[in-house]
């Protein structure tokens, strides 16, 4: 007995809040379809045939078959079997079956959510060339083949398919599907609408939030209905484009944030490496050596300055040791809540010496300038201390006066002169090497 099929008509495009396109698909239809001999099992009954006519019965659209279709990938380009290893990596997946598939009047239907912008455009944009539009579908499934002859709807067949287990749904241009133009995305405008039965067609249309059903029996009514659908489709296409643009802008923001996060992670890695280096035994030993050497320089500078203060009457000789200890303690503490560092101690030492000598620190000085000044003061102090400890020379029977190696001039010249001497000596050593 010939089966009568419902003539499914287009309904509105549906956009989810996140911009995904929801479509309704006729995934499979009862009928007799041709398969290549290389697509069928190698059995004696089929040998010698150039093609095999296989019957897909509607009774095979069982609950188990529908459940196997739930959530499966929607793909483009080719029938590539979906596995966890490739489903999200080979670029063919553009969406997934949504909700529960169902059978009706010899056809198997399901909804699908399409997330890929290119696929959304290929489905909805009727200005594209036909070969770029996605219209028909082809179900990718596995099953069993029963070798038996028979007829359905006047068509003879050589075998019957059974026990369907779905794997994916493939979107195709018009005319590329094995099961014909009715196995397709059904909520879009048909390109070759025809009258069916007694020239009476039901057209279901969703306008805004209201659903309406139209019945027409001539071409004028058909064209009018199609015009209504086309106007509604254009309205929804504009909304779709807006959603796609908004999604593109959001994706750009996400990429920028990901780049910032990657940079942040890289900075954290570098900081971790620096911390690990600082915690190493070699670095701890180097830091301890540096702290010891700087402590000796601070001691030498304070001792030299205390000697000057005694000579200039700013300090009594009997209080010299006590005052030197106070000075050392003052330069080795922080005036803020911050933990004192070697750099802060160098700065405190330079500030103390210049302030005592009545000189102000230039506003342009940074830590490098303070470091250079501290090094210069250390050289001066060691030179001064060594000369004061050396015995006085006798000239013409009288002790000679010890001359300060810093020479005369302003404070800056006195501070930088030993540094110039030392740098000149280093240059000479390098040149000699």
How far apart, in whole angstroms, are the C-alpha atoms of residue 294 and residue 418? 18
How far lies 370's CA from each of 288, 296, 340, in Å?
21, 17, 15
How far apart, in whole angstroms, are the C-alpha atoms of residue 226 and residue 174? 19
pLDDT of residue 148: 93
pLDDT of residue 1: 30
Q: Would you report the helix, strand and coil content of the chain in percent, each value rounded to 5?
A: 45, 25, 30
Angle between helices 411-432 and 367-389 (to 10 degrees): 90
If you search the block for the tokens 């003061």, which residue do you land on? 377
How far lies 296's CA from each of 121, 191, 291, 372, 378, in Å?
77, 94, 9, 16, 9
State both tokens at 327: 């000075």
pLDDT of residue 433: 46
pLDDT of residue 212: 58
How far apart, in whole angstroms, are the C-alpha atoms of residue 299 and residue 378? 9
How far lies 267's CA from each of 276, 278, 280, 384, in Å?
14, 16, 20, 47
Q: What is the mean pLDDT of each run of 10 residues along the chain (433 residues)?
A: 38 73 92 89 84 94 95 93 90 93 92 93 89 92 92 94 95 90 76 41 53 58 68 74 85 90 88 76 78 87 85 81 83 75 88 87 90 90 73 51 43 52 57 53
Are 175 and 136 in contact by the 8 Å Cβ rule? The answer is yes
Q: How far is CA 33 from the centre of its chain?
A: 46
Give 260-293 as a DSSP string: HHHHHHHHHHHHHHHHHHHTSHHHHHHHHHHHHH
Angle between helices 281-311 and 219-278 (to 10 degrees): 60
């Amino acid at each position: 007995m010939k089966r009568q099929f419902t003539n499914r008509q287009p309904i509105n495009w549906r956009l989810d809040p996140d911009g995904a396109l929801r479509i309704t698909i006729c995934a499979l239809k009862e009928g007799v379809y041709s398969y290549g001999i290389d697509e069928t099992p190698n059995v004696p009954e089929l040998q010698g045939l150039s093609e095999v006519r296989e019957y897909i019965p509607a009774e095979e659209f069982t609950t188990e078959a529908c459940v196997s279709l739930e959530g499966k990938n929607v793909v483009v380009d080719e029938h590539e079997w979906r596995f966890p290893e490739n489903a999200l990596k080979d670029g063919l997946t553009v969406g997934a079956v949504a909700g529960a598939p169902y059978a009706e009047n010899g056809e198997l239907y399901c909804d699908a959510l399409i997330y890929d912008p290119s696929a959304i455009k290929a489905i909805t944009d009727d200005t594209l060339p036909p070969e770029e539009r996605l219209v028909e579908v082809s179900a990718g499934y596995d099953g069993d083949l029963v070798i038996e002859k028979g007829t359905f709807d006047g068509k003879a067949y050589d075998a019957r398919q059974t026990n369907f287990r779905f794997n994916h749904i493939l979107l195709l241009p018009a005319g590329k599907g094995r099961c014909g133009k009715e196995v397709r995305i059904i909520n879009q405008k048909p390109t070759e609408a025809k009258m069916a039965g007694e020239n009476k067609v039901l057209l279901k249309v969703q306008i805004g939030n209201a659903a309406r059903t139209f019945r027409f029996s001539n071409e004028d009514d058909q064209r009018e209905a199609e015009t209504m659908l086309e106007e509604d489709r254009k309205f929804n296409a504009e909304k779709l484009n807006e959603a796609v643009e908004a999604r593109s802008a959001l994706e750009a923001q996400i990429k920028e944030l990901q780049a910032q996060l990657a940079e942040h992670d890289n900075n954290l890695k570098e900081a971790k490496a620096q911390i690990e280096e600082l915690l190493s035994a070699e670095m701890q030993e180097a830091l301890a050596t540096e702290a010891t050497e700087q402590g000796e320089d601070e001691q030498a500078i304070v001792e030299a300055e205390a000697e000057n203060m005694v000579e200039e009457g700013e300090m009594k000789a009997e209080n010299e040791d006590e005052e030197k200890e106070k000075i050392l303690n003052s330069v080795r503490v922080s005036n803020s809540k911050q933990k004192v560092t070697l750099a802060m101690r160098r700065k405190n030492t330079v500030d103390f010496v210049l302030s005592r000598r009545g000189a102000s620190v230039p506003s342009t000085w940074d830590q490098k300038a303070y470091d250079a000044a501290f090094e210069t003061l250390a050289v001066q102090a060691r030179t001064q201390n060594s000369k004061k400890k050396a015995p006085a020379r006798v000239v013409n029977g009288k002790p000679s006066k010890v001359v300060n190696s810093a020479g005369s001039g302003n404070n800056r010249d006195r501070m930088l002169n030993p540094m110039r001497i030392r740098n000149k000596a280093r240059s000479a050593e390098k040149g000699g090497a």
